[in-house]
Chain A
Amino acid sequence: MSDVLIRVPAVLRPFAGDASELRVAAGSLAQVLERVAVRHPQLVPRVLTPDGQLRPFVNLFVDRTNARALQGLATEVPAGAVVSILPAVAGG
């Protein structure tokens, strides 16, 4: 299987057609997000700034590793990997 799985947190599901999981072809994290944006154009602006940087209140994990600790959006996401979007959540 050449896809990666993207886990969409509840707070962002309204921008992903209420999907909790998406599948797109593998590539760099930036490419993965571009492929997501084709189908869900409202979702990616919640994750990236207009100039394409990762927003400071969102973390992207490739499997269990924070992309910030890898090569950021240039991180290669291999087929079969899971990308988890983890936004800051304040509810208590």
Chain B
Amino acid sequence: MSTPAPRPGTPVELDPGAACDLVRRGVALLDVRDAPELATGMADGARHVPLCELERRAPELEPDRSQVVLLICASGRRSRQGAERLRTLGYGRAMSVAGGFQRWRAEGLPVARSPDEVADLDVERYARQLTLPEVGLDGQRRLRDARVLLVGAGGLGSPAALYLAAAGVGHLTLVDDDRVERSNLHRQVLHGDADTGRLKIDSGAATLQALNPTVEVTRVERRLTAANARTLLEGAHVALDGADNFATRYAVNDACIALGIPQVHGSVFRFEGQVTVLWPAAPGGGPCYRCLYPEAPPPELAPSCGEAGVLGVVPGVIGLLQAAETLKLLLGVGSPLVGRLLQYDALRGSFDEFDVARTPACPACAR
């Protein structure tokens, strides 16, 4: 194949119209944008090669370094960088499409639809996390297919659910039988003033669907108990424990052990909060709630938020740490808080980290 050769020393940029003519004559056009950006479509005839992979894949895509290679990105900046890099590799006729895909489209040049690799995802919505190598398209699909059960749609469940929905966790189940009270509103940010008197699961589901309509929210108007915990948790990948009482927390614990799934624990009191991941079935093992606290305290030593008060932002911080741990578990990235407990003290403005181990003779999780 013979193509008109820009002479050495000619500008590294080419107008979109001229580039389009070359592509029609068989010249390679490489789109160096990140995958999520392809949702807006691609220049017709372009192949996708993210900029970070360009140098590695160039020899495979165009073995003949004497050929013209065209690069395109969103605005022309990254493709110009790419062309300059290719020139240092010996592709003396690598050129960038000036103004990028934005100008290509504005000039009415032919555009192809998004490739299949992104067509099933709302890549524009998740663009900023899709570009994280730890997430990417595969991770985003994993989040989309994930099921998280939130025990309680209150102080901890509210912030956690908002961010899990925003991140694209596809299936959220809210388990709560309470109705919204005005005294909830300073911390339970799933609910607004007009929701007073509504079931929290209804108000919460409406807020989550408004935030991200692609998320399926299942509402369970029940109090999770030892009798129904296992049935409710069946099929969930993670339980996010934002309960407001010990009986529910132990019920979640026992069901999670039976099902082998992690319980992302959070609890708050006044200006303090605790967060940890309880998961005996974790690779390497981890403690359960009964390893950590074999028994619940008597009521006089465990006043509720209603009795003792809580700074609204404290469950916000802890609930979001629970959401972060949940996303890490679903994505399989980082080091989950298994065997470690974080304590947040808002007044001191500090986090303390403690090691928490399995109890070898734990009545709940010892094998």
Contact = CB atoms under 8 A, between A and B. Distances in A.
Interface of A: 7, 9-11, 20, 46, 55-59, 61, 64-66, 68-69, 84, 86-92
Given A90-B244, A91-B304, A57 B297 contact: yes
Contact of A66 (B154, B242, B272, B356): B356
A36 to B, nearest CB: 17
A57 B266 CA distance: 16
A27 B293 CA distance: 25
Contacts of B269: 9-11, 89, 91
B267 interface: yes
Contacts of A69: 355, 357
A57 B354 contact: no
Contacts, number: 104
A92 B305 CA distance: 8
B354 A86 contact: yes
Which 5 pairs, one residue from A and one from B, show the smallest C-beta to C-beta distance?
A: A88-B293, A56-B295, A57-B297, A56-B294, A10-B270
A48 to B, nearest CB: 13
B156 A92 contact: yes
B297 A66 contact: no
A85 to B, nearest CB: 11
B171 interface: no
Contact of B354 (A9, A55, A61): A61
Given A46-B301, A57-B295, A88 B354 contact: no
B243 interface: yes
Contacts of B301: 11, 46, 57, 87
Contacts of A88: 246, 267, 292-293, 296-297, 302
B293 A84 contact: no
Nearest to B155: A92
B156 A84 contact: no
A74 to B, nearest CB: 18
B308 interface: yes
A90 B274 contact: no
Contacts of B243: 90, 92
A20 B272 CA distance: 12
A46 to B, nearest CB: 6
Given A10-B272, A11-B302, A86 B355 contact: no
Interface in B162-187: none
B310 interface: yes
A43 to B, nearest CB: 12
Contact of B310 (A9, A65, A91): A91
A84 B354 contact: yes
A92 B315 contact: yes
B210 to A, nearest CB: 23
Contacts of B156: 92
22 contacts: A10-B272, A11-B301, A57-B295, A66-B354, A69-B355, A87-B301, A88-B267, A88-B297, A88-B302, A89-B268, A89-B302, A90-B245, A90-B296, A90-B304, A91-B155, A91-B305, A91-B308, A91-B315, A92-B241, A92-B266, A92-B268, A92-B315
Interface in B230-276: 241-246, 249, 266-274
B21 interface: no
Nearest to B310: A91
Contact of A92 (B244, B293, B343): B244
B296 A57 contact: yes
Contacts of A86: 274, 341, 343, 354
Nearest to B340: A64
Given A86-B274, A89-B302, A92-B268, A56 B293 contact: yes
A87 B272 CA distance: 11
Nearest to A46: B301
